[in-house]
Amino acid sequence: MSDPKSGGTKFDQEKSRVELVDPAFIEGIGKVLAFGAQKYEAHNWRKGIKISRLLGGALRHLLSLLRGEDTDPESGLPHVHHLGCCVMFLSWMLVHRPDLDDRFKY
């Protein structure tokens, strides 16, 4: 029998390292989602949003950050968390709703 102090074997080398994600960032996105759920409804975004609209929202939050504005005036939440939320929506739409990809393609 092996030494119990050395720990067990766990084959997870190829798995996602979700433990490295900042918990405060995830909680911040959760607050943005809670704000959106109150304003619209929970999971409203899963009904589908065109890619160009999500890119526009992400860029507006990014531009606000570039101008030195940290907090979204409507929600009172950080622009960076709104931006993270937009990126999450984009990621989901590109995988699950490719029919909503209305980007101009050169």
Higher pLDDT, 20 or 13: 20
16 domain-assigned: no
14 domain-assigned: no
63 domain-assigned: yes
31 domain-assigned: no
pLDDT computed for residue 14 by the predictor:
84
pLDDT computed for residue 2 by the predictor:
62
Q: How many domains does the chain have?
A: 1
Give 1's pLDDT tier (boundaries 50, 70, 90): low
Q: Is 18 helix (H, G, I), strand (E, B) or coil?
A: helix
Domain that holds residue 92: 54-106
H runs (alpha helix) in the chain: 23-39, 51-66, 79-96
64 domain-assigned: yes
Residue 75 in tokens: 């929600």
6 domain-assigned: no
pLDDT computed for residue 5 by the predictor:
75
Separation in Å, CA 53 to CA 6, 9, 47, 90, 93: 52, 46, 14, 10, 11
47 domain-assigned: no
